[in-house]
Chain A
Amino acid sequence: MTPAMSDLSVGSIVAEANFALTRDSLVHYAGASGDFNPIHYRDDVAQSVGLSGVLAHGMLTMGLAVQPVVDWAGDPARVIDYQVRFTRPVFVDATAGATVTVVAKVGALDLEATVARIDLVVTFNGATVLGKAQARVNLA
């Protein structure tokens, strides 16, 4: 079940996924996380602070982006370190929603510690929305 370190090579893709976000997704995340900032559900408030409209919580994007890695690793407990930089907003249209694409590649292998660094390329509308998105995965 658990991927073997010896089968991995730096640069190879281990998981890919698309996530279709809607305004419902944002309301659901607001409730689950307790982050009720209205820029995530009210266009008028988002526009009043200079945004073109409602955007996804950065922590929602961060949270879903690691899921393909969790499923590849087989257990959420295998993710021992996860970091991102929020570089661009994900605007979620009221009718069309937004599709976030995740490609997970092997970034580095620490054979001694049996830890793989998985680098995530997370894009929306053809541009990356997270920088330095890296999950360290314990494959021991």
Chain B
Amino acid sequence: MSVNPELQGRVFPPVAPYLVGREKVREFSRAVFATNPINHDPEAARAAGHTDVVAPPTFAVVVQEATLAQLLAEPDGGIDFTRVVHGDQRFTFTRPIVAGDELTATLAVTSIKTLGGHSMVTAESTIVDASGAHVVTAISTLVVRGDE
């Protein structure tokens, strides 16, 4: 089975909201060696003008993850999970993710390219807060290896 080219342009339903917990931000920060006090200490974060601890830039992947699961589970998608390699990743912020945010992610497949038997699937997850305002867009390019 190969990647369905008709996935290009498909927009998925929003996933369930993700509530950003302070301890989760701290746990993730420790995991990526983020030692800045603004990642860990609410007082330091407030002193810097934030409402609570600020998540490291790549924390957005935790919120994005449910949208990629949607993509891999799409019945007509033809994406074989065991052949997927993460090619590129990008995060573009309007504002940082802060503890207390309730975030909703919506996935769109923006591009499918075939290169030497492999498919490159670019998936863009737009993440907004509870008011609907944009926070960050997470863009992944997944390389789906063809049959050898």
Please tell me which one of the listed residues A60, A70, A135 contacts residue B36 in the complex, with CB atoms under 8 A apart.
A70
Q: Report yes or no: B90 in contact with A81, Cβ–Cβ below 8 A.
A: yes
Main secondary structure of the interface of B (DSSP, over half): mixed
On chain B, the residues within 8 Å of A132 by CB distance are 88
What is the CB-to-nearest-CB distance from A118 to chain B, in angstroms, rounded to a whole number?
Answer: 12
What is the CB-to-nearest-CB distance from B59 to chain A, in angstroms, rounded to a whole number?
Answer: 8
A32-B28, A70-B56 known; A19 vs B33 contact (CB < 8 Å) = yes
Q: Which residue of B lies closest to A62 (CB)?
A: B58
On chain A, the residues within 8 Å of B24 by CB distance are 32
Q: Which residue of B lies closest to A136 (CB)?
A: B92
On chain A, the residues within 8 Å of B89 by CB distance are 58-59, 62, 83-84, 86
Please tell me which one of the listed residues A31, A67, A86 contacts residue B32 in the complex, with CB atoms under 8 A apart.
A67
Give the CA-CA distance A85 to B139 in the complex, in Å: 12
On chain A, the residues within 8 Å of B38 by CB distance are 75-77
Q: Which residue of B lies closest to A138 (CB)?
A: B93
Give the CA-CA distance A90 to B88 in the complex, in Å: 16
Give the CA-CA distance A63 to B31 in the complex, in Å: 9
Give the CA-CA distance A80 to B87 in the complex, in Å: 21
Q: For chain A residues 25-67, which have a beta carbon within 8 Å of chain B?
A: 25, 28-29, 31-35, 49, 58-60, 62-64, 66-67
A76-B54, A77-B48, A77-B54 known; A58 vs B32 contact (CB < 8 Å) = no
Q: Is A103 at the interface (CB under 8 A from chain B)?
A: no
Please tell me which one of the listed residues B62, B92, B93 contacts residue A34 in the complex, with CB atoms under 8 A apart.
B62
Using CB atoms and an 8 Å cutoff, list the residues of chain A in contact with chain B. 19, 25, 28-29, 31-35, 49, 58-60, 62-64, 66-67, 70-71, 75-77, 79-86, 132, 135
